Amino acid sequence: MSKSGKSLEVQNIYFTCIEVLKKDKSISSKIFTIQEFEKYLLKHKEYEQLYEKLNYKNSKLEKLLFKKSDYSIFGILNITPDSFSDGGINSDITNASKNAQQMIEDGADFIDVGGESTRPGAKKINVITEVKRVLPVIQLLKSKNINISLDTRNSSTMEFGIIAGAKLINDVSGLNHDKESIKVINKYKVPIIIMHMPGNPKTMMKKNIYKDVTTDIYDFFETKIKEIEKKGISKENIIVDPGIGFGKDYEQNLQLINNLSIFHGLGVPLMLGVSRKRFIETISKESDPTKRVGGTVSATLCALNQGIKIHRVHDVKIINQAIKVFEKLNY
């Protein structure tokens, strides 16, 4: 179908249709076959730039994230007493190191180290406490040649973490929490994951008011990317994360997951974090987060089938196996 022009390859996935969304007072939608859209494009040149962005190339992030395969797994390592799923289990540095090493053996490409809980309603902690939690772990993992990303919204923690060995920063506030963060990212030229979250962890579930959650978050990212590019951050260093569960209710989460492919139009990679999230409980009635692995697998494969290649998860071994089998069966 691709050879005959009936399908379009986008991020290693073949699509047979393109949906054009127009946002004004309301959202209008029209679906085209690939051949119909290419004819439509001849008369509507305003869509050319968006169309060309779908198959963005990013040699820097490809080299960093996809050394072993065409997808990348970030293993979650929370050095916190109060994270929603694994709070307290990594507070001891020996346990943290052991669990990180196991995730690497299970197929993780990066270990995402975080020292502040960002679950709904979580209270802000001071930066000194956060640094004291994460720095020894980063230093130890660095000594073992483990790739580290640092989950923080504080510029001081970012700088200490980068100096200690973190190769990538994951900011749940989307660079909105600490205005000095952009300066740190610029100084060290490291990749940055920009997540969408309205407000902060304490207020986000009161601020989930959207005209249309998918296009509103798309607009947020489009504006944010332009803004930080003007401040010196290279587009080659930008990854976005729609923030499943962060200021989104059950229906909003499902809408986002079902429409992830829209974000290819931004021209940057997308990370997805659905691991053990509460929307899985709503569907499955499973209240224990550690028993939501099946739901995590389903959501991950749904995203993979839309060309999403970066996945942040707790259960690395199971997710890695699921993706490997899924790819063999489908491709």
70/49 same-domain check: no
36/134 same-domain check: no
What's the pLDDT score for residue 88? 64
CA pair distance 130, 255, nearest whole angstrom: 34
Number of folded domains in the chain?
2
What is the per-residue pLDDT across 124-154, written as a single tens digit (0 to 9) for each? 889 999 999 999 999 999 999 999 999 999 9
- Out of 312, 317, 324, 328, the active site residue is 312
Question: In sequence order, what are the residues at sequence separation of 6 or more whose Cβ sits closer than 8 angstroms to the Cβ of residue 298?
Answer: none
Last residue of a domain, one of 55, 78, 97: 55
Ramachandran angles phi, psi of 141, nearest 5°: -65, -35
What's the pLDDT score for residue 310? 98
Last residue of a domain, one of 19, 39, 55: 55
What's the pLDDT score for residue 91? 76
- Report strand pairing: 17-23 vs 27-33: antiparallel
Q: Where are the alpha helices (DSSP H) in 146-249?
A: 155-164, 181-188, 213-230
Please compute, for residue 285, the number of CA atoms within 13 A of its CA located in the half-sphere on the CB side. Answer: 0
Last residue of a domain, one of 55, 76, 98: 55
What's the pLDDT score for residue 82? 61
Task: Sort 110 into a burial class: Cβ within 10 Å, 0-12 / 13-18 / 19+.
Answer: buried
Tokens describing residue 286: 């499973």
135/236 same-domain check: yes
What's the pLDDT score for residue 330? 81
48/131 same-domain check: no
Domain containing 191 equals 58-330
What's the pLDDT score for residue 306? 95
260/146 same-domain check: yes
Residue 248 a catalytic site member: no
Residues of the chain with pLDDT under 70: 82-88, 331
Whichever domain contains 206, its CATH number is 3.20.20.20
Residue 231 a catalytic site member: no
Computed over its alpha carbons, how large is the radius of gyration of the chain? 20
Q: Are 114 and 137 in contact (CB under 8 A)?
A: no
CA pair distance 321, 73, nearest whole angstrom: 11
Ramachandran angles phi, psi of 260, nearest 5°: -60, -30
What's the pLDDT score for residue 120? 74
Tokens describing residue 114: 């975080």
4/77 same-domain check: no
Global pTM? 0.93
- Out of 133, 153, 277, 292, the active site residue is 277
What's the pLDDT score for residue 117? 84
